[in-house]
């Protein structure tokens, strides 16, 4: 496979620092087949309160406008609520990447109301607009729970254009590339509105990363080589400008810093000479850092890119 | 005789250009242009291709365009309906030729 130049020459650099992405742990109430983090109820890794306090220290020390909380299910971290409230008190835009079914776990029932009260942006996984596609990837009954959760968010004002932002995330349910985002968004809008009365702001299409549980699926079914070739053939240099790693730093559950959540899973840390831990955070140095890249980066640069 | 159709041969399609690159390039230019969005969307063209693949019973084309449908955001429901359209056309095309049989019978009958 002929790797694109940015992978061979390692010339990709950050172009600013707009988002602090914080992974609060790999524990999740689900174990989806495509999960690159391999999150599940059995995973023990959680960001401790000390590290969460160090994350807040970064917000106090610099003006990064957006905090993006992810997991696992980030809500399962005991520090989650404090972190969201503290970030909002500091005037930061907070995004929570929610799996929606977490609202039905014990003690989590009030999350939609909490999000609405604090004005949190919800980015919710809904891999497809049909039940069969979602349940096959995420587990039986997940689609219906997700629909119920989206209705609750809509009832609170989410997705209505009034400031409470509800974005959905599509993942291909297998070893193929995502469709054009705008075209699929139309299908989602029609299916969710006509079928369930649900509205939302935007749909993001993600490309499945050849790492974690999805990579195991590719290997098990003998599709890894073909999938990687497909990604390489679909390489689009126009995606390089908007890659999320160019404006984001990812903090792992142990406080280690990475260029993105995917590099975090692979243990691909920041290059020598840069801060390696959230307590050493240096916004100036991180804003123009060289980005560590690998073969998996092809998933973010294929086709129209992966938001 | 072994497997006449092998999955990996789909990726070797380009080798058909080996002994006559000029004709192959002309074919590929035309093929790619025919599948570009125009008055019809990419999605509509991919569905037509899937239907034709079934009517021709070409396993390579079925593989390629079943995936193409997924990459256009379509579900198994869309794919199945397209296959029904192709099958119905094949069935209808056979059935309409029954008139030829009737005509042939009429021609030689008293």
Check: CB of residue B84 under 8 Å from CB of residue B110. no
Both structure tokens of A64: 């990064």
Mean pLDDT of A288-307: 89
- Chain B residues within 8 A of A179 when measuring between CB atoms: 71-73
Does A156 contact B at CB distance below 8 Å?
no
pLDDT band of residue A304 (cuts 50, 70, 90) is: confident
ipTM over 0.85: no
Q: Quickly tell me which residue has 């995936």 as its tokens.
A: B67
The DSSP call for residue A256 is B
What integer pLDDT is reported at residue A11 of this predicted model? 79
Q: Which residue among B11, B67, B75 sits closest to A176, beta carbon to beta carbon?
A: B67
Q: Is the pLDDT of residue A2 over 70?
A: no
Percent helix, strand and coil across chain A, each rounded to 5? 40, 15, 45
- Mean pLDDT, chain A, as a whole number? 94
Q: Say which residue, A272 or B98, is predicted with more confidence.
A: B98
Which stretch of DSSP H or E encloses residue A219?
helix A212-220
Backbone angles phi, psi at A247, to 5 degrees: -130, 20
pLDDT band of residue A1 (cuts 50, 70, 90) is: very low
Mean pLDDT of A160-178: 95
What integer pLDDT is reported at residue A153 of this predicted model? 98
β-bridge mates for residue A248, sequence order: A19
Mean pLDDT of A144-153: 98
The predicted-structure confidence for B62-81, as pLDDT tens digits, reads as follows 999 999 999 999 999 999 99
Cα gap A169→A123, rounded to integer Å: 7
- Chain B residues within 8 A of A177 when measuring between CB atoms: 71
Percent helix, strand and coil across chain B, each rounded to 5? 80, 0, 20
What's the whole-model pTM score?
0.89
Both structure tokens of A34: 């495509």
Mean pLDDT of B45-57: 97
Q: Is the pLDDT of residue A8 over 70?
A: no
pLDDT band of residue A306 (cuts 50, 70, 90) is: confident
Q: Is the pLDDT of residue B108 over 60?
A: yes
Mean pLDDT of A97-113: 97
Mean pLDDT of A267-275: 91
- Least reliable range by pLDDT among A20-24, A163-167, A270-274, A292-296: A270-274
Three-class SS state of A86: helix
Residue A194: partners with Cβ closer than 8 Å, 6 or more residues away:
none
Q: Is the pLDDT of residue A7 over 80?
A: no
DSSP secondary structure, B37-68, as one string: -SSS-HHHHHHHHHHHHHHHT-HHHHHHHHHH
Contact A179 B76 (CB under 8 A): no
- Chain B residues within 8 A of A183 when measuring between CB atoms: 43, 72-73
pLDDT band of residue A3 (cuts 50, 70, 90) is: low
Mean pLDDT of A126-153: 96
Q: Is the pLDDT of residue A199 over 80?
A: yes
What integer pLDDT is reported at residue A110 of this predicted model? 97
């Amino acid at each position: 496979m002929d790797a694109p130049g940015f992978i061979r020459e390692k010339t990709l650099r950050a172009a600013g620092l707009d988002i602090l992405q914080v992974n609060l742990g790999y524990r999740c109430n689900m174990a989806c087949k495509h999960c690159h983090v391999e999150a599940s109820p059995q995973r023990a890794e959680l960001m401790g309160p000390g590290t969460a306090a160090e994350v807040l220290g970064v917000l106090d020390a610099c003006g990064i406008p957006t905090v993006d909380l992810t997991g696992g299910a980030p809500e399962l971290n005991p520090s989650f609520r404090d972190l969201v409230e503290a970030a909002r008190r500091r005037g930061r835009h907070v995004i929570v990447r929610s799996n929606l079914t977490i609202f039905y776990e014990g003690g989590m029932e009030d999350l939609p109301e909490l999000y609405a009260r604090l004005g949190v942006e919800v980015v919710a996984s809904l891999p497809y607009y049909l039940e069969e596609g979602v349940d096959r990837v995420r587990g039986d009954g997940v689609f219906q729970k997700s629909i119920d959760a989206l209705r609750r968010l809509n009832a609170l004002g989410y997705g209505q254009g009034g400031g409470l932002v509800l974005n959905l995330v599509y993942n291909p349910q297998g070893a193929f590339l995502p469709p054009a985002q705008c075209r699929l968004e139309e299908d989602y809008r029609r299916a969710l509105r006509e079928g369930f009365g649900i509205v939302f702001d935007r749909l993001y299409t993600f490309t499945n990363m050849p790492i974690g549980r999805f990579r195991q699926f590719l290997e098990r079914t003998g599709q890894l080589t073909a999938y990687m070739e497909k990604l390489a053939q679909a390489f689009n240099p126009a995606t390089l400008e908007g890659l999320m790693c160019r404006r984001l730093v990812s903090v792992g559950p142990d406080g280690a810093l990475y260029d993105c959540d995917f590099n975090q899973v692979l243990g691909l840390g920041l290059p020598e000479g840069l801060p390696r831990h959230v307590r050493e955070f240096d916004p100036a140095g991180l804003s123009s850092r060289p980005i560590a890249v690998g073969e998996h980066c092809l998933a973010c640069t294929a086709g129209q890119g992966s938001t | 005789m072994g497997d006449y159709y092998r999955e990996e041969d789909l990726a070797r399609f380009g080798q058909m250009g080996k002994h006559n690159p000029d004709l192959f390039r002309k074919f590929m230019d035309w093929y790619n242009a025919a599948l570009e969005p125009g008055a019809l969307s990419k999605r509509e063209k991919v569905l037509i291709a899937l239907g034709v693949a079934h009517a021709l019973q070409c396993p390579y084309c079925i593989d390629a365009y079943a995936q193409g449908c997924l990459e256009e955001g379509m579900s198994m429901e869309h794919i199945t309906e397209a296959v029904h359209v192709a099958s119905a056309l094949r069935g209808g095309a056979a059935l309409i030729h029954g008139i030829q049989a009737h005509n042939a019978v009429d021609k030689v009958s008293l």
